[in-house]
């Protein structure tokens, strides 16, 4: 049986076995640079300006942020990375990371790309899930308006019908090709609309097994209650649920909006409260035998989950980290025999920039995750005698 005793997350030889020393030095440079928040702020501003004015900087971005955090520009280009991860027992979750589009043509293009991804994933053991963001196939403002219960114009009604058509097609393709489909969680002021659509589609497509997986953010005060409510609904109406559990990515934005519009913030008041809720959600899912993806870079949460797992949980539950981050977790988990995946973002370079800027922002303080990541890279370089 796999237990915590079989894993040593500090084993950098395992964590970086697939990286050459040159690649590791490159990673060290990147993480050191990103950790310098002033440099990151200036670089991100410069890159945004340079891209807007079409300066020839794509190669610089490709060799730095893009190669670290993305699998390629197309699904095909991700193939090599997927193979490399799978050699070490890690599956991929290819993530078409084009964001911020607002027109029907782009939504159709994204849906087409997602369907292509589902078709490619069919029967591929190295792909554990397909994934999408609802705002990749629907206009943010439309989802927000529905959540506010405002009257939709005829054009908006048609647009919403198109969103549901795209979603139907995605779920249908996923079901037909036996590919599990994950939907990401987003900002709270559109999330209720996403919740409602997902429940409607889980009822339709999750009759026999979880096809559509739903994401719950546990930085939300109501995160655990929403999870329990969805599970109860599934029990009552005889369909399956599958959850991806995350802490949540939009904390600052959520708090700023709540302050500005003077409503009570939906986000927990402290990191400790989020951690406790996250671990409680994992425990609940394990206890109820719910198919769950524990998507986190938090080592303590992973260790706690493993302690509570029994052999059947290992069959239905899995862990996930983002490509380019948390390698010490992913590779050591896979080495110990746990199911683990990497979110593998891809898309045309200029279109995945919002995603890359988010990663740079996330790594720009010399605390927590970045320090640990950097520490492990340095430890491995020292071990190889290449400081």
**Residue least distant from ligand FAD (Cβ):** 184
Q: Considering only 147-155, 195-203, 215-223, 280-288, which stretch makes contact with ligand FAD by CB under 6 A? A: 215-223
Residue 85 sits in the site that holds ligand FAD (CB under 6 A): no
Residue number with CB closer to ligand FAD (33 or 299): 299
DSSP 124-142: -TTB--EEE-GGGTS-HHH
Selected range binding ligand FAD among 36-44, 49-57, 138-146, 317-325, rule: CB under 6 A: 317-325
CB 333 within 8 A of CB 84: no
Question: Does 321 sit near ligand FAD (CB under 6 A)?
Answer: yes
Q: How far is the CB of 303 from ligand FAD (least distance, A)?
A: 12
Stretch that binds ligand FAD, among 142-150, 170-178, 291-299, 378-386 (CB under 6 A): 291-299
Those residues whose C-beta lies under 8 Å from the C-beta of residue 238, and which sit 6 or more positions away, are 207
Helix axes 271-287, 299-308, angle to 10 degrees: 30
- Distance of closest approach, residue 355 Cβ to ligand FAD, in angstroms: 11
Binding residue for ligand FAD, selected from 47, 118, 320, 334, defined by CB under 6 A? 320
Residue number with CB closer to ligand FAD (319 or 381): 319
Binding positions for ligand FAD, 223-282, rule CB under 6 A: 246-251, 267-268, 270-271, 274
Listed in sequence order, the residues at least 6 apart from 374 whose beta carbon sits closer than 8 Å to its beta carbon are: 28, 31, 32, 35
Closest listed residue to residue 225, CA positions, set 214, 237, 216, 213? 216
Q: Name the residue with tokens 């109406």.
A: 237
Q: How far is the CB of 219 from ligand FAD (least distance, A)?
A: 4
Tokens of 162: 């198109």
- Please name the helix (run of DSSP H) or strand (run of DSSP E) that holds residue 304, with its range, or none: helix 299-308
Q: Which of residues 351-380 bind ligand FAD (CB under 6 A)?
A: 368-369
- Taking the complex as a whole, how short is the minimal distance between the CB of residue 260 and ligand FAD, in angstroms? 18
214 near 244, Cβ under 8 Å? yes
Q: How many residues bind ligand FAD (CB under 6 A)?
A: 26
From the list 322, 334, 336, 381, which residue makes contact with ligand FAD (rule: CB under 6 A)?
Answer: 322
C-beta closer to ligand FAD: residue 98 or 320: 320
Least Å distance between CB 132 and ligand FAD? 10
Per-residue binding string, ligand FAD, 182-201, x by CB under 6 A, is --xx----------------
Give the CA distances from residue 230 to residues 54, 215, 242, 309, in Å, rounded to whole numbers and listed in that order: 46, 11, 10, 22
- Of 205 and 214, CB closest to ligand FAD: 214
| Minimum distance from residue 120 beta carbon to ligand FAD (Å) | 20
The DSSP line for 148-203 is TTPPPPHHHHHHHHHHHHHHHHHHHHHHHTT--EEE----HHHHHHHHHHHHHHHH
Rounded CA separation 191/283 (Å):
24
Contact between 297 and ligand FAD by CB under 6 A: the answer reads yes
Among 295, 329, 334, 360, indicate the residue that binds ligand FAD (CB under 6 A). Answer: 295
> Among residues 130, 215, 292, 363, which is the contact residue for ligand FAD, using CB under 6 A?
215
Residues of span 100-159 touching ligand FAD by CB under 6 A: none
Q: Which of 161, 159, 242 is nearest to 198 (CA)?
A: 242
E strand segments, the chain: 91-96, 130-132, 181-183, 212-217, 242-246, 291-295, 317-322, 340-346
d(CA 218, CA 198): 18
Evaluate whether 340 touches 387 at the Cβ level (below 8 Å): no
Cβ proximity to ligand FAD, 206 vs 298, nearer residue: 298
Q: Which residues bind ligand FAD (CB under 6 A)?
A: 184-185, 215, 217, 219, 246-251, 267-268, 270-271, 274, 295-298, 320-322, 343, 368-369
């Amino acid at each position: 049986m796999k237990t915590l005793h079989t894993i040593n997350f500090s084993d950098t030889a395992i964590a970086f076995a697939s990286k050459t020393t040159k690649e590791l030095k490159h990673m060290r440079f990147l993480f050191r640079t990103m950790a310098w928040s002033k440099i990151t702020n200036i670089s991100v501003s410069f890159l945004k300006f340079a891209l807007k004015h079409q300066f020839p900087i794509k190669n610089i971005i490709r060799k730095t942020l893009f190669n670290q955090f993305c699998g390629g520009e197309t699904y095909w280009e991700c193939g090599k990375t997927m193979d490399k991860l799978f050699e070490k027992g890690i599956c991929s979750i290819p993530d078409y990371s084009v964001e911020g589009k607002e027109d029907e043509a782009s939504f159709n293009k994204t849906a087409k790309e997602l369907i292509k991804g589902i078709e490619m994933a069919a029967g591929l053991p190295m792909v554990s899930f397909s994934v999408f963001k609802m705002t990749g196939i629907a206009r943010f403002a439309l989802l927000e308006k529905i959540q506010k219960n405002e009257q939709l114009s005829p054009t908006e009604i048609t647009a919403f019908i198109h969103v549901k058509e795209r979603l139907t097609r995605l779920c249908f393709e996923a079901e037909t090709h036996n590919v599990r489909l994950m939907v990401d969680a987003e900002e709270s002021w559109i999330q209720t609309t996403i919740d409602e659509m997902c429940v409607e589609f889980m009822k339709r497509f999750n009759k026999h097994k979880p096809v559509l997986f739903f994401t719950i953010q546990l930085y939300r005060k109501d995160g655990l209650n929403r999870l329990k409510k969805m599970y109860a609904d599934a029990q009552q109406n005889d369909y399956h649920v599958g959850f991806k559990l995350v802490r949540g990515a939009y904390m600052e934005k959520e708090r700023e909006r709540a302050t500005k519009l003077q409503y009570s913030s939906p986000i927990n008041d402290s990191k400790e409260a989020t951690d406790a809720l996250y671990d409680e959600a994992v425990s609940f899912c394990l206890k109820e035998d719910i198919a769950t993806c524990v998507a986190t870079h938090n080592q303590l949460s992973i260790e706690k989950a493993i302690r509570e797992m029994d052999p059947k949980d290992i069959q239905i539950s899995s862990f996930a980290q983002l490509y380019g981050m948390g390698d010490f977790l992913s590779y050591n988990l896979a080495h110990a025999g746990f199911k683990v995946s990497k979110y593998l973002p891809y898309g045309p370079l200029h279109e995945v920039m919002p995603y890359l800027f988010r990663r740079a922002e996330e790594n720009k303080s010399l605390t927590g995750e970045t320090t640990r990541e950097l520490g492990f890279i340095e430890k491995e370089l020292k071990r190889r005698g290449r400081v």
